[in-house]
């Protein structure tokens, strides 16, 4: 797109939020909680408000892009700059607003220190693992902008009305084996989060978020009592989005005993009792476990993308230039 054809761009302001909420609700048709997604991703840019970009037409906000800069890795790995949201109002699509927004947030991410550009989730706080393939125009846009498809991620969906979420008999069986399952408590935090850090990645931070809710959105499996109590499993729900389940893990010593099944069912029961009708199991790998345990089915497919700035971008076709 020629600079002269680029729609007017500026940094978003807090007073834009009502307009931006209408845009994302109209755009994120596969996300019923789109307004809350906007709040989540907006708040994650609080330390870098320049990564909030909007387009305008005749003084009216027409689209939004949000970016997030990953913390430095402390090694030679590239520092990732994430595009976390891009939405254009329905009446302004096909006029180059999406392409302008993506280019602008890329420029700002690079100026902030990013050395690799990505479209993927930003654990521990994220709205999606990557780009839902059902948002086809967005998939076409990022691929035409030179992004490489690197992986796929999947969510599963469970019907909470149909799933068998009973755990009483299994909890009795586990208790006879010396394993108790209970809701995590705020006072567990020091020991529990120290144990969680052994899992690596972002799970400790995600568990801390679940633990901060009232009541905590986390269930744990433990052995022993009091000061000698040992954590051997955990499961969380509603960490970033109320309808989502995860993360979950069981200590290797306890696998094969049904600990994970009890933890999963207890979390889904929380969600059902909160009035939810479905639970989305996020960024999953063991499909068979969830399908067998709670009748979950494969649901959403996400593409993860990256682009190294030094890689030349192929020229867009005339059709793509209008996207």
Dump pLDDT digits (tens) for 17-26. 999 999 999 9
Asked if residue 167 and residue 96 are part of one domain, the reply reads no
User: Domain limits at 249?
Assistant: 162-276
Asked if residue 212 and residue 84 are part of one domain, the reply reads no
Asked if residue 192 and residue 137 are part of one domain, the reply reads no
Report percent pLDDT > 70 for the chain. Answer: 94
Asked if residue 101 and residue 220 are part of one domain, the reply reads no
Give the pair of three-digit tokens for residue 296.
């979950």
- Confirm whether 284 is domain-assigned: no
- Confirm whether 288 is domain-assigned: no
Closest residue by Cα to residue 158 from 300, 295, 302, 301: 295
Residue 117, φ and ψ in degrees, nearest 5: -105, 135
Question: DSSP code of 78?
Answer: P
Residues 206-232: what's their mean pLDDT? 93
3 state DSSP class of 65: strand
Asked if residue 262 and residue 142 are part of one domain, the reply reads no
Q: Taking 50 as the threshold, does the pLDDT of residue 320 lie above it?
A: no
Q: Taking 50 as the threshold, does the pLDDT of residue 323 lie above it?
A: no
pLDDT value, residue 315? 47
- Distance linking the first and last C-alpha atoms of the chain: 10
Residue 88, exposed/middle/buried by CB under 10 A (0-12, 13-18, 19+)? buried
pLDDT value, residue 5? 62
Residues 94-118: what's their mean pLDDT? 96
pLDDT band, residue 12 (cuts 50/70/90): very high
pLDDT band, residue 314 (cuts 50/70/90): very low
Asked if residue 192 and residue 65 are part of one domain, the reply reads no
Dihedral angle sign, alpha carbons of residues 109, 113, 118, 122: negative
The angle, 0 to 180 degrees and rounded to 10, between the axes of the packed helices 203-211 and 189-196 is 160
Residues paired with residue 221 on neighbouring β-strands, in sequence order: 181, 233
> What CATH number does residue 180 fall under?
3.40.630.30
Give the pair of three-digit tokens for residue 103.
């280019």
Residues 55-79: what's their mean pLDDT? 91
Q: Which stretch of 88-102, 108-122, 247-261, 305-319 has the lowest confidence by average pLDDT?
A: 305-319
pLDDT band, residue 1 (cuts 50/70/90): very low
- Confirm whether 68 is domain-assigned: yes
Q: Taking 50 as the threshold, does the pLDDT of residue 261 lie above it?
A: yes
Dump pLDDT digits (tens) for 176-218. 999 999 999 999 999 999 999 999 999 999 999 999 999 999 9
Mean pLDDT, all residues of the chain: 93
Residues 281-310: what's their mean pLDDT? 94
pLDDT value, residue 123? 92
- Confirm whether 242 is domain-assigned: yes
pLDDT value, residue 317? 43
Asked if residue 105 and residue 53 are part of one domain, the reply reads yes
Q: Give Cα 46 to chain centroid, integer Å.
A: 18
Give the pair of three-digit tokens for residue 111.
């100026």
- For residues 183 and 218, the answer to whether their CB atoms sit within 8 Å is yes
pLDDT value, residue 225? 79
Tally of domains within the chain = 2
Q: Taking 90 as the threshold, does the pLDDT of residue 318 lie above it?
A: no
């Amino acid at each position: 797109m020629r600079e002269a054809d680029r729609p007017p761009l500026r940094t978003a302001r807090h007073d834009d939020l009502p307009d931006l909420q209408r845009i994302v609700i109209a755009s994120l048709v596969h996300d019923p909680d789109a307004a809350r997604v906007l709040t989540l991703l907006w708040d994650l840019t609080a330390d870098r408000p320049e990564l909030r970009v909007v387009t305008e037409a005749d003084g009216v906000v027409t689209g939004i892009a949000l970016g997030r800069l990953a913390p430095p890795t402390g090694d030679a790995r590239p520092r990732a700059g994430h595009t976390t949201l891009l939405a254009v109002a329905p009446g302004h699509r096909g006029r180059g607003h999406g392409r302008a927004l993506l280019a602008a947030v890329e420029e700002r991410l690079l100026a902030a220190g990013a050395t690799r550009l990505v479209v993927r989730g930003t654990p521990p706080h994220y709205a999606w693992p990557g780009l839902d393939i059902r948002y086809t125009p967005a998939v076409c846009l990022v691929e035409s902008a030179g992004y490489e498809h690197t992986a796929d991620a999947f969510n599963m969906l469970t019907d909470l009305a149909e799933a068998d979420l009973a755990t009483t008999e299994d909890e009795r069986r586990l208790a006879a084996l010396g394993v108790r399952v209970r809701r995590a408590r705020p006072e567990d935090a020091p020991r529990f989060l120290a144990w969680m850090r052994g899992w690596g990645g972002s799970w400790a931070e995600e568990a801390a978020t679940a633990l901060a809710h009232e009541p905590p959105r986390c269930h744990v499996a433990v052995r022993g009592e009091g000061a000698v109590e040992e954590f051997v499993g955990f499961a969380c729900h509603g960490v970033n989005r109320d309808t989502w389940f995860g993360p979950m893990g069981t200590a290797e010593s306890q696998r094969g005993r049904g600990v994970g099944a009890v933890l999963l069912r207890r979390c889904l029961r929380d969600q059902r009792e909160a009035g939810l009708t479905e639970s989305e199991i996020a960024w999953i790998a063991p499909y068979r476990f969830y399908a067998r345990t709670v009748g979950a089915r494969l649901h959403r497919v996400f593409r993860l993308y990256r682009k190294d700035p030094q890689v030349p971008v192929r020229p867009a076709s005339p059709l793509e230039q209008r996207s």
